[in-house]
Amino acid sequence: MGAESTQRSVWAVVREQHGVVTRAQLRALGFSEKAIRHRVRKGRLHRIWPDVYAVGRPELTREGLWMAAVLTCDDGAVLSHASAAALWRIREQRRGPIHISVPSPRDPRRLGIRVHRRQSVRGTTHQGIRVTNPSQTIIDLAPTLTERQLERIIDEADKLDLVHPEALRQHGAEEGRVGGSKVRTLLDKRTFLLTDSELERRFVPIAEAAGLSRPETRAKVNGFKVDFFFRAEGIVVEADSGRYHRTPSQQRRDRIRDHAHALAGLTPVRFTHDQIAHEASYVADILRRLSSNA
């Protein structure tokens, strides 16, 4: 291979790898150790971590640093945890080390890199960088997040079509660790479902405790069948059933129903089945305050 052809091959690798190249790749392209050392001295190669170089100039993009971190850890290493979440764009990583997962018993030590050893690594490739898949990324992060933060990254991953909630739940069940359990518990909560009779049995006493009249159940109001209608107070209550999220067309129909009730001078309000079953005081407080404003 001629010098010009070799140079083109190097730059092809560099472009694919966000500005970095490894010593092994350079050797495979025909560069001797002497040639590599010469380019380091001349400032054409800049050592980032052992056996990994930035080409041309030392400054790297965030993706370049992630790529360099994966390459320096080698042998099955993948970007993971907070760094993987940032690459997938489901949660920003503002500071801290780059997180890399490696198969046990490997334990590379690098300044600025946090290494996680695990029995097996579920990896894929995104933007040319080896990384844990979105489900594994969420499960890895879950133990460090509040419930609301975990909800946000699941919602973001769902919105970006990176995960399907049921598949994520299954992955969490298979994982069997703290993160998997936390993800599964959250998804179970958001898909909690009561039968119609159980829903009525739980909700009516909450409304009575809030001082409201006894509601009409499954009544027809403004052309729609509603779960609970408080005629005296002018409040329509819908209990959202056990689904992680509703489709766009279902959401549109829900908004149309709510708009129809509001235009008729009624107050529409929605609770989830889980709120009715497990957050009775919150539901009662909302009903009490709506009633006082009626």
- The rounded Cα 281 to chain-centroid distance in angstroms is 30
**Terminal-residue alpha carbon distance, the chain:** 83
Q: How far apart are CA 121 and CA 124, in angstroms?
A: 10
| Residues 81/119, Cβ–Cβ less than 8 Å | no
For 262, which DSSP code? Answer: H
On the question of pLDDT at 53 being above 80, the answer is yes
On the question of pLDDT at 245 being above 60, the answer is no
**Coil, strand or helix at 271:** strand
Per-residue model confidence as pLDDT tens digits over 176-200: 678 999 998 888 877 777 788 899 9
Per-residue model confidence as pLDDT tens digits over 56-115: 888 999 999 999 999 999 888 999 999 999 999 999 988 899 999 999 888 888 999 999
Give yes or no for a cis peptide into 215 (omega within 30° of 0): no
- For residue 2, name the pLDDT band (cuts at 50, 70, 90): low
CA-based nearest residue to 91, from 146, 21, 138, 35: 138
Burial category of 116 from C-beta neighbours within 10 Å (exposed 0-12, middle 13-18, buried 19 and up): middle
Q: Say which range, 41-45, 161-165, 266-270, has the weakest mean pLDDT.
A: 161-165
